[in-house]
Structures are given as structure tokens and as C-alpha cells.
Amino acid sequence: MENTVTAAHNFSLPTLLKQGDFDVAKAPDAPLKEYFALLSEIINRAPRVIDSLNKLAVFDDSEKALKDLADMQTLLAMAGCDKLAAPVSEISCSDKDSDMAHAVPQVMAVLNEFCRIFTRLLTARLADGEPSVYGGTPLQNAYKQALDEVSKEESSRKLKILAVDDMLFMLSTVSQILSDEYKVYELTDPMMLEAALQFVTPELFLLDYDMPQRNGFDLMPIIRGYPEHKETPIIFLTATGTNTSVLKALKLGACDYLVKPIKAKLLRQKVAAHIVRKNRFNIAS
């Protein structure tokens, strides 16, 4: 595996334990900072792995993509993420000259799961400069302490999404689809957008197009007017899927456009993928 310089971050061990993606108990015993550096390296390499999985799905640059997956498999295994390390290993060990068509469903399944775990890992990362409560404690000792704290931790540290739609039923549907992974804030009145942004800084926006007083297109320049939301992903959810409306949304800076009725699996995939892309520019900060 190639050597890279990764900005190491601290993580909330109780959050990692609650999420259940990383079996810390199976990780090699080492100073806690080394384990956190390993998790930071997984975050650092995640966008490259996402690109590699997408390339494998269309049989593009398979040799390099398989190498990227093999490197990630090593990191995942060391971090105790067995449920993802195993299928990644199976794909990375494939013969690059074989017919990859049969492997496409598995590649897509791994891509979806990787995006899900990556976004959850981001929620467990502490803010820049925020120290670990365990200091220089060895990993296994810190793990035992964190187990005791899991029941006491009140915050789930979920990434935030702001959904704007004048139909309460649609907001409830979106919230049900995404609430396991994200904290969804629901806004039925588009005129209250600025007020809502005083209290929440979302990682992604979901906007309805057809709303009274302000439609989704009207909200786009308002959102982009906030410095912290110059690059925040915006996905349109609408019953209007004409080429003209899609092109206008993309021209205004939307990253995606989903036509109602919304398919739960597709929405989860799109949200996770766009949050990954957003964070590719922030992972080393």
C-alpha cells in the first residue's frame, strides 16, 4: 500500500460503537492516536475508492481500480470493518482479464454500503482541534471506557439535511427514508428558509420545485449566497421532470434531480454519493 500523508483527526469512540460499522475490539491494540490515524486514512482515500468502484461498474481502468480496492481492504480489515473488508477483498482479488459483467451487481452493492459507512464515519469525526477525551490511552482501554459511555451519549452526531416542500406528506416520507442515517429538518414554508439557516447548517438540501411564493429555483441563489453553502449539494425532488426544468436546475447549481414518486433506495444512494463528493474537498482539512 502506497504511503500518503494524512491529516489525522480525533473521533468519538462511543459514536463509532453505536454505529456498529467498526469492531474496535478486533482492531490490533495500539495507541489510540494510531487507530484514529487509520480511520483518517480511510476517509482520505474514500473518494478515490468511490471513483474506482464506479469505474469497475463500467469496466473502465480496472487494473488501477482493483489496486485502490486492495489498499482500502487492508485499511478496513485493520480498523475492524469486517462486513465491508470481506466483499471489497473479493472484488479486489478478481482477475482483471475476466468478464466483470457478472460482478457488477456486487460492485454496486459494495459501492452503496461503502458510501453509507463513509458518511457515518464522518459523523463520528470530532471537530478540528477537538481533543479525544481518552488522551494517550491505549486503544483497548479506551474501547472499554467508551462502552460504558455509549448509554450516556445523547447526541447521535448525525449529518444534517434540510428538506423544503410545501407538502407535509412528502416531507414525512423523505424523513422516514433518511432518518436512520441523517437528521432531517423539515420546512414546509419556503419563505422561512433564511430563518431556518440561522439554526441549522445542513450537509445537503432537498428542494421541491413547485411551491407557492418561492419555488425551488428561487431558493437556489439564496442558498448559494451563504459562504458556507457555496458547494453544499442541492437535490431537487419534484413531479416536474422535463428536460428544460432539469437543465435549469443544473445550471443554477443543483447536483441532482429526482422525479416523484421518490424511490427510497435511489434517494439514499443519491444523498450518500453527493455528501461523499462534497467532503472530498474537506477530508484533509
pLDDT in tens, 32-59: 999 999 999 999 999 999 998 888 888 7
Rounded Cα distance, 107 and 55, in Å: 10
Give residues with Cβ within 8 angstroms of 130, minimum separation 6.
Answer: 10
Read off the amino acid at residue 211. M
160 neighbors 179 (Cβ within 8 angstroms): no
Instruction: Name the 3-class secondary structure at 256.
Output: strand
Task: Evaluate if residue 92 carries a pLDDT over 60.
Answer: yes
Task: Evaluate if residue 5 carries a pLDDT over 50.
Answer: no
Q: Which residue has the cell 478540528?
A: 128
Q: With bands split at pLDDT 50, 70 and 90, how would you rate the model's confidence at 190?
A: very high
Task: Evaluate if residue 264 carries a pLDDT over 60.
Answer: yes
Q: State CA 283 to chain mean position distance.
A: 12
Q: With bands split at pLDDT 50, 70 and 90, how would you rate the model's confidence at 144?
A: confident
Higher pLDDT, 64 or 151: 64
Domain 159-279 has CATH 1.10.3720.10: no
Chain region(s) in the chain for CATH 3.40.50.2300: 159-279
Task: Evaluate if residue 14 carries a pLDDT over 90.
Answer: no
